[in-house]
Amino acid sequence: MKTSAPERERVVGSKVTRVDAVEKVTGLAKYAPDIYFDRMVHCALVIARKPHGILHKIDASRAQKLPGVFGIFTYKDVPGKNRLGEVVDDMPCLVAEGETVKHYGDVVAVVAASTQKTAEEAARKVRLTIEELPAVLDIEEARRDEIRIHGSSNVSVHKKIRKGDVSKGFSRADLIIEDNFMASYQEHAYIEPQGVVVLPDTDYGMTVYGSIQCPYYVQSSLSKVLGFPMSKVRIIQAETGGAFGGKEDVPSFVASYAAVAAYNLKRPARLIYPREIDIHTTSKRHPVKSRYKMGFSKDGEILAIEVDAYMDMGAYATLSPVVMFRTLVHAAGAYSVDNVSVDTYGVYTNKVPPGAFRGFGSPQVLFAVESMVDEASRRLGIDPVDMRMKNALREGSRTSTDQLLTESVGAVETLDKVNELSNWKELNERVEAFNRGSLFQKRGVGLSHIIYGVSLGAQGQHIDKSGAHVQINRDGSVDVRIGGTEMGQGAKTVMAIIAAEELGQKLSQIVVHQTDTAFVPDSGPTVASRTTMFSGNAVRIACKSLRERLVKLYAELNSCSEDEVELHDGMISCGQDKGMPFDELIEEAFKKNVKMFEAGWYQSPVLEWDPESGIGQAYITYSFASQVVVVEVDMITGNTKVLEAYTVHDVGKAINPEGVIGQIQGGFVQGMGYALSEDLKMLNGRILTDNFNTYIIPTIRDIPRVFKYGIVEDEFSEGPYGAKGIGEPSLMATPPAIANAISRAIGRRIRHIPATPEYVLNVIKEDAE
C-alpha cells in the first residue's frame, strides 16, 4: 500500500512562510501579560535578599494595611507540599520561619493586590528578620565543606567515564598539556520575562496560562504544591517569548507562587516577573571550573584525555544532576580517543541556582577541550583543520563513552565544508598580512569542532517520548496538537510541514495549536533539541494513519489501485484522472463515518548505559558542527570584535531550511555574547548586573560583517525524513572558536569566558610582564 508522500512534491526542505509569523508581527499573539480574567489579582514576590541565614520572622503587618492588598501568603498558606525541584526536591516553595535562607533570591512570600504597582509596594513593606550566616560563594570554598549547605557535603553529585587506560596513553605521548579553565554564568536574556496566570477552574481545579517551556513539569509541580490530583491541573502554554532553557523548570516555581494566591483567594492570579526579579531568582548557565590533561603523538593523534570538572549548582540542585550528564559525555569533545577519564562534580554554593541553558552543560567543557586541541596544534606545528580531521569521529568510530557510531556522522563533512566556505588557508594568510602591518590591533583566526548528543540520552530515556493528536475537520482544515512547545524556535512551522507532507493538504490549512496538557499526554520536556525528532515523529505517525484511510477511500470511490493514489498540495488523484480537492474527499469521508482523527506516539530507542563506568550508548544520535571566526583585538583596551564567521552544521535533514538558518544565526549571536560580553557580576551573593543596562548582550551592531553558513544533511534513520537537531548546537561552536581566535591574535591562551576587555587586557599584560 502506498502511504508515503511522493518525493517530487515535497513540502519538506522547501522555503515556506513561518506559520505563526503574522500573529507575532501584528501583535495578535497572546502572551501571558495579554491574558486577563475578571476579578484577577496581581502578584509580587518577597525575596530574602540575604545569601545565607535563618529566617526568624515574617512581618506583613505594614503591607497588609495598604489599600488594594488582598492577601500576603507564606509557607503557612501552601495547601500541599511546600517543596519544589524536578530532580531533587531540595527547594522550598516558600521559605518557612525557622528554616534557612540559602540564596539572595529565595522566595519567602507572595503578595496579591488589585494592581501590579500596589503588589510591588506591599512586597517592599514586608519585613523579614534573618539571622545572617557565613555564605559559601566560591567552588573551592564549597569543596572544603567548612560550611555545608545541604546534607553532609556540598559536593553532592559525581559522574564519571573510565574508558581504556589513560596512564598508558600518556606514557606513549610525545606532548602532554595540562591547563585549567573557567566558564562563568550566562543569563538567558529571553525577551519576555517569566509570567503566568492561574485560574481556579470548576472543571479542572486550576488552569495555568503561561510562558512555559515544559507544561508537564508545571502540571506535576502544581499537583504537589496544591495537593491536587494531576487531573485537576491543566496547563495551557501561552505564546512564549524565548526560553533557551530558562523556562524549563523555572515556570514550575513561578506557577506555584501564583497558584498559592489563586487557591487561597479563589480568584485568578497573575504573576509577571520584573526583569530584576527574573535575573535575581531564576536559573543561569552553570559556572564550570575544569582541569584538563591531554596527551598527543607528534603527528597530532589524541592518545589520552583526563578531565576534572566542578559545576557550581548554586543553592539548590534544580536540573544540575541531569545537566552534569551532558557535561560528562561532551567533556572529551568530538573526537575518537581510546583512553578517557572524566570526573564531573556538582557543588552547592549560596548563590542563584543555575539550571538548563542552550547547550545544557556542554559549552563550558567544549570551550576547554577545544582550547586544548588548539594549543596542541600550535605547539606541534599542525594546521588546526588537519588536527581536527585526524581525530574526528566517523562511521565506525567510538565516542568517549565507547558508543559505536553506525550512521549519520557528518563530522568530517562539516570540517571539509567550513574549510572550503572560509577559504581557510587564504583567510589565515590575509590575517597574517594584516598583523604584520598593524601594531595596536591584532587579528586572529579561530576554529572549533563540536559534537552534540540529540535528545535526553541514557539518563533521561525514561521521559524521552512524545505524543501528538491530529484531527481533520469536515472542511479539510487540520488541527495538530503536540506535547512539545513553540518558544520562538519554529516548532509549529516544522510540525505543519510534516503534517502537510504526509496528508497532502496545503500548509495554509494546517493549524498547530498551543500546547495543552488536557489534549496530549505527558510528552517529556521541550529541551535537548528533541522537538523535531520526537514531536515530529509523533505527528508523522498520526498523519500516516489518516493518509492510509484517505488513500483507501479515494481508491474505492474511483475504482483504482491504492498504489497509484497521490496526495499533494490540497489535491488527491489516481493515475491520469483529474483528481479531487482535499476538502471534497474529506466531505466524502465524513458521509461514510471514516475516522478522521488519530494519535501519534514516539519514544526513544532503548539505550544501554553503565553509570558506574560511564560506558555505553549515551545518546540516540549526534549532531556535529565546525566553525571558523576572525576577531580583531585592540591591544590597548582588550576589546574584541568578531569580524567574520563561517559555520557548518550537520542537522540530518533540514525540514525547514529557513528555520535552520535562523537557528544558526541566533545561536551564533548568543554564543558570541557568552564568549565576550555577558559578564554576570556578583557581590556577596547578590547579582549586580540585574538589567540590560549592566548585563551586556550583543546587539545588531555586534554581528560580524561577514557571516556565511553551510548545512550538512547526513540523515538519521530514526528522525523524521532524517532530521536530527539544531537548536543547541547552533550556540555551542561559537565560544571555543572565538576564544581560540583571541588566543591566536594576542599570542596568549584564553582560559576564561566571557573574555571581557578587562580579562583580555590582563592576559596581555600578565604575560608581557
Residues 740 and 755 both lie in one domain:
yes
Alpha carbons 663 and 539: distance in angstroms, whole number = 22
CA 559 distance to own-chain centroid: 51
Last residue of a domain, which of 577, 603, 629? 603
Residues 639 and 707 both lie in one domain:
yes
Alpha carbons 355 and 318: distance in angstroms, whole number = 6
Helix H segments across 148-249? 166-171, 215-226
Q: Rounded to 5 degrees, what angle do the CA atoms 433, 434, 440 make? A: 135
Residues 766 and 646 both lie in one domain:
yes
Residue 472 forms part of a structural domain = yes
Give the pLDDT band of residue 203 (cuts 50, 70, 90): confident
Calculate mean pLDDT across residues 701-716: 97
Q: What does the pLDDT read at residue 6?
A: 43
Residues 628 and 599 both lie in one domain:
no
Residues 626 and 674 both lie in one domain:
yes
pLDDT in tens, 621-652: 999 999 999 999 999 999 999 999 999 999 99
Looking at the predicted structure, is the pLDDT value of residue 9 above 80? no
Residues 654 and 545 both lie in one domain:
no
Which DSSP category does 52 fall into? S
Residues 476 and 550 both lie in one domain:
yes
Residues 451 and 471 both lie in one domain:
no
Give the pLDDT band of residue 3 (cuts 50, 70, 90): very low
Residue 643 forms part of a structural domain = yes
Residues 498 and 588 both lie in one domain:
yes
Residues 623 and 732 both lie in one domain:
yes
Residue 448 forms part of a structural domain = yes
Q: What does the pLDDT read at residue 769?
A: 52
| ω into 215 cis (within 30 of 0) | no
Looking at the predicted structure, is the pLDDT value of residue 675 above 70? yes
Residue 762 forms part of a structural domain = yes
Residues 454 and 472 both lie in one domain:
no
Calculate mean pLDDT across residues 102-113: 98
Residue 515 in grid coordinates: 500546547
Domain count, the chain: 2
Q: What does the pLDDT read at residue 394?
A: 98
- E strand segments, 137-282: 155-163, 175-183, 195-201, 205-210, 233-237, 269-272
Looking at the predicted structure, is the pLDDT value of residue 1 above 70? no
Q: What does the pLDDT read at residue 578?
A: 87
Closest C-alpha among 360, 423, 352 to residue 689: 352
Residues 404 and 539 both lie in one domain:
no
Question: Residue 253 phi/psi, 5° resolution?
Answer: -70, -45
CB 595 within 8 A of CB 545: no
Query: Worst-scoring range by mean pLDDT, 43-57, 462-476, 568-582?
Result: 568-582
- E strand segments, 579-670: 580-581, 597-603, 609-610, 615-616, 622-634, 640-650
Looking at the predicted structure, is the pLDDT value of residue 301 above 50? yes
Which DSSP category does 711 fall into? E
Residue 16 forms part of a structural domain = no
Q: What does the pLDDT read at residue 2?
A: 41
Alpha carbons 231 and 218: distance in angstroms, whole number = 13
Last residue of a domain, which of 552, 579, 603? 603
Last residue of a domain, which of 570, 603, 636? 603
Q: Three-class SS of residue 452?
A: strand
Calculate mean pLDDT across residues 495-523: 97
Q: What does the pLDDT read at residue 204?
A: 80
Quickly tell me which residue has 550566616 as its cell.
Answer: 133
CB 460 within 8 A of CB 356: no
CB 446 within 8 A of CB 420: no
Calculate mean pLDDT across residues 357-385: 98
CB 304 within 8 A of CB 173: yes
Residue 65 forms part of a structural domain = no
Query: What CATH number did the domain enclosing 692 receive?
Result: 3.30.365.10
Q: Rounded to 5 degrees, what angle do the CA atoms 378, 383, 388 make? A: 95
Residue 666 forms part of a structural domain = yes
Q: What does the pLDDT read at residue 575?
A: 86
Q: What does the pLDDT read at residue 65?
A: 97
Q: What does the pLDDT read at residue 766?
A: 84
CB 27 within 8 A of CB 204: no
CA 139 distance to own-chain centroid: 24
pLDDT in tens, 547-566: 999 999 999 999 999 999 99
Closest C-alpha among 754, 721, 751 to residue 501: 721
**Element spanning 347, H or E:** strand 340-348
Q: What does the pLDDT read at residue 767?
A: 60
Alpha carbons 76 and 654: distance in angstroms, whole number = 52
Domain that holds residue 564: 21-29+465-603
Looking at the predicted structure, is the pLDDT value of residue 244 above 50? yes
Q: What does the pLDDT read at residue 4?
A: 46
Give the pLDDT band of residue 202 (cuts 50, 70, 90): confident
**Predicted TM-score (pTM) of this structure:** 0.97
Calculate mean pLDDT across residues 306-330: 98
Calculate mean pLDDT across residues 717-738: 97
pLDDT in tens, 573-627: 998 888 999 999 999 999 999 999 999 999 999 999 999 999 999 999 999 999 9
Q: Three-class SS of residue 264?
A: helix
Beta-strand pair 622-634/441-453: antiparallel
Residue 548 forms part of a structural domain = yes
Average pLDDT across the chain, whole number: 97
